[in-house]
Structure 1
């Protein structure tokens, strides 16, 4: 297998598959035992399974800013929103900002987004303004799986759009379960590609994000009075949602194989943040909206048969690494005026560089959360409670080392402050999802925070 920079004739195709709110152990290969995910498990066996992959944020749109720009999302006003919702018409991804798809277009790639955008609403923002040449999907952060409406119980148009080139996307109608609709659209798009031009397909599912309805639950879906995550659902329903996602990915992978494209296509599968209400996050604690490992650590797979051997990688990586990594695979680089905060991880995966320590930073407005991971140490602050963990051995983040290792604690705390000073401030008008108060209060009561365990 060659590790040389790809030439124009051998540049890989790229299919980037993003799940929504998928928990760390929601796949069989990561520890799920209540249901099977055979297609994603097979993808893991054929490629790279990451054990220390992180999302840039504990909530969706902020991570998507990092994915598109290869930078900490806090460099852009829209990236401060957690997630972008009420101000999506004001604070989306600026069309003038270089992105992963725009850099690939400049390198000669054909690009498309099929699925969720969630980086600002039209007409000011949109995928066709930020590097994608074709788009089919939804603008908002959530839509019903069957009606495709952004709200339940009201007479509102579906949030489903299609567009190509310079013109604005137009509303379209589709019937069926949205996960399957996206798989069908992606498969059809792949069948239209030809070998002369490499392509980049972003396939961004909404699954398994709420509303909690599986592919056989259309009647349940139409009875929902609220799409919000407390309305309905069960572990069994969630399992069916993830299984539907697995089948959809399997369909897309089968299409690549049938088209003779599988060998030199990079397939990435990951999630935008940690799991939600019904997710399995063992052995971690925490969930979406929390800077505990369960809110940040995400299942991540990569397959590139022409170049990479199957392996389990313990390299620490994060969402914003995908821009420099995939651009390097395509033989190009980030825009010089917008250098990436991420790292090209291909040398590690090719065996040209050893697995190495990283320093990564997070912040989240709700409960004044802060986090730094440096090597195996993690500094965490929630409200007025501060912690130091060794996440390599204390995966559940329960042994506070603050008093045992005060020098490390103070160094990481100071590092976070210096990093934060270079980014846009989180002001009062920035929207954020709040962590469930009763869970948070019980988990980190102030009187417990000061005691080493």
Structure 2
């Protein structure tokens, strides 16, 4: 009997240990598993072009659902007010005071290709160190010279899309890049708007990427080209906006093969982008990945098309190529089911150069290069008290109206335009930047002017001098 009791005690103890181990193991696995990261980037989409920021004419139900299920940032900034350098800031964590890419190639002093260099450390390189599979599908725009900026040497395992920003100007391109191969699209014709609509393939490729890498941590950078010029979209996306009595906006065809009516095309393009977001989220749910995937949606700079009909810049002044808030404040929403509290709003001030340290923190690694960014993980997790804040934000641009510099420091926003009086705005009281108060606060102006000089490092290709595009 004693022997039987000892056997029972041993079996019972072993059973308890086994059950305890089984119960503990899933928790440990879940805790240890690194989240997938998807960054969806629109092109020239304004702050006010999405429903969650007040858009009423254009319907964006899927993007708005991201906002309902995640967190909206009200004070998120692009890298600058034009695509190439803005995207460089997103990828490297470095703003335009220090970046190797500060303008598009044609606006550089000598017209040299504005590419990332071997010394640049991208978020893809950092996540590769953390064991992630990395992919970019869409517009890269940082390999203008076809050398050092190649995606496959900048940390990405897979690339499908446009290497340069000019390739991305057309929606029915003659070819597309897949890794290092140029894939002809013989049935496409830009002028006739015939063949495969490029962004449709980006959405399809993104879903395939998710399917192929569902069992490993992945980073997917998904920069669509919608709704950038040229303004054209398949008829099924324009149809919901026809016969609404909208004013027509005739478009002239030159470099861009626009549709006849710009308003219908623009609305349809934004809605088609919204459709892609819905397809992507459906795929994540289908693959049981939505609870372990952080999805971020934003735009590379302010709106380039709208002149007021859509209120694309929301309550702000200006748009693309300008450093007023409308040119650099971006729509931003982050969704991570089960981790980010649904339906929340953050007033944390952040910028594109914060994405790299954020991704690194989520992946469990430290940034390996000196950067300007600050991780916004605490803000995403609803812990504003532990969220570090920026002392300042810096932007510059040198296209058309340039050179222009801007610095935000707390509520103050200083803008230095070429051969014009210095402008100072208190964003806390004047979000639309209507009242220049530079004369009333000379001490603040002096401080910001000094910062503009001290923060910036020289780059011989991008001096702060007046110039014209070289081509």
TM-based fold match above 0.5: yes
Structure number with the higher helix fraction is: 2
Output aligned runs, 1:37-436, within 5 Å: 37-77=60-100, 79-82=101-104, 90-121=113-144, 122-142=146-166, 143=168, 145-148=170-173, 158-163=174-179, 168-173=180-185, 175-195=195-215, 197-216=216-235, 225-228=253-256, 233-278=261-306, 280-310=312-342, 311-335=344-368, 338-354=369-385, 356=389, 358-365=391-398, 366-383=401-418, 384-420=420-456, 422-424=457-459, 426-427=462-463
Q: Report if aligned partners of 1:162, 1:172 keep a CA contact under 8 Å in 2.
A: no
Q: Give the secondary structure class of the aligned counterpart of 1:65.
A: helix
TM-superposition CA deviations, 1:33-54 (whole Å, max 9, x none):
1121000000011111010000
Deviation at 1:229, TM superposition (A): 9.2
Cα RMSD, aligned residues only: 2.9
Q: Report if aligned partners of 1:67, 1:322 keep a CA contact under 8 Å in 2.
A: yes
Alignment CA distance shift 1:203-1:5 (3 Å)? farther
C-alpha distance in 2 between matches for 1:416 and 1:198: 40
Q: Report if aligned partners of 1:269, 1:301 keep a CA contact under 8 Å in 2.
A: yes
Q: Report if aligned partners of 1:137, 1:162 keep a CA contact under 8 Å in 2.
A: yes
344-353 vs 36-45, which deviates more?
344-353
Alignment CA distance shift 1:409-1:307 (3 Å)? same
C-alpha distance in 2 between matches for 1:29 and 1:35: 11
> TM-score, structure 1 length as denominator?
0.83
Q: Give the secondary structure class of the aligned counterpart of 1:25.
A: helix
Which blocks of at least 5 consecutive residues in structure 1 are unaligned? 149-157, 435-453
Deviation at 1:277, TM superposition (A): 1.7
Counterpart of 2:241 in structure 1 is: none
Which blocks of at least 5 consecutive residues in structure 2 are unaligned? 1-26, 189-194, 238-250
Deviation at 1:172, TM superposition (A): 4.3
Name the count of aligned residue pairs: 410
TM-superposition CA deviations, 1:69-97 (whole Å, max 9, x none):
111244344x1223668988743111342
Alignment CA distance shift 1:7-1:432 (3 Å)? farther
Q: Report if aligned partners of 2:317, 2:324 keep a CA contact under 8 Å in 1.
A: yes
340-349 vs 172-181, which deviates more?
172-181
Largest Rg, 1 or 2: 2
Alignment CA distance shift 1:329-1:418 (3 Å)? same
Show structure 1 runs of 4+ deviating over 6 A: 4-8, 84-89, 428-434
Deviation at 1:288, TM superposition (A): 0.5
Q: Give the secondary structure class of the aligned counterpart of 1:424.
A: coil
Q: Report if aligned partners of 1:139, 1:159 keep a CA contact under 8 Å in 2.
A: no
C-alpha distance in 1 between matches for 2:453 and 2:329: 23
Q: Report if aligned partners of 1:264, 1:304 keep a CA contact under 8 Å in 2.
A: yes
C-alpha distance in 1 between matches for 2:29 and 2:300: 28
> TM-score, structure 2 length as denominator?
0.80
Q: Give the secondary structure class of the aligned counterpart of 2:291.
A: coil
Alignment CA distance shift 1:349-1:217 (3 Å)? closer
